[in-house]
Amino acid sequence: MARIRKQLPAYPGTGELRCRGFRGPVDYEIIGEPASLRPGPARLRGSFSSTPEVAAQIFRDVDGELTLESGATYRVTMLGHSAGSGVAYFEMRV
């Protein structure tokens, strides 16, 4: 019998991203509840939306900090980006 996995809710918003080559506002969408993260190995995934140039720069910087609309700050590690796309994918943790 197949196990059905619960769909995690998406949390979109606008926040501030700080990384080596970029500091500024980005639109984000996080899959899962950010407030549920605790220190340790647990992570949530999400994506940033911006211009293709900014998305490429964010991806090249690899690590950064994202401050959400709520004021909470999380460490982010970039996972993927397609050339010419305005979307970069990340993992976030406390």
Model pLDDT for residues 48-82, shown as the tens digit of each residue: 999 999 999 999 999 999 999 999 999 999 999 99
Domain boundaries, the chain: 10-93
DSSP string across 17-57: EEETTEEEEEEEEEES-GGG--SSS--EEEEEE--HHHHHH
The whole-angstrom separation of Cα 41 and Cα 60 is: 23
Sign of CA dihedral 39, 31, 60, 72: negative
Q: How confident is the model at residue 1 (pLDDT cuts 50, 70, 90)?
A: low
Q: What is the pLDDT of residues 13-28, one digit of tens each?
A: 999 999 998 999 999 9
Tell the CATH superfamily of the 10-93 domain.
Trypsin-like serine proteases (2.40.10.10)
**Model pTM score:** 0.85
34: nearest Cα among 15, 55, 61: 15
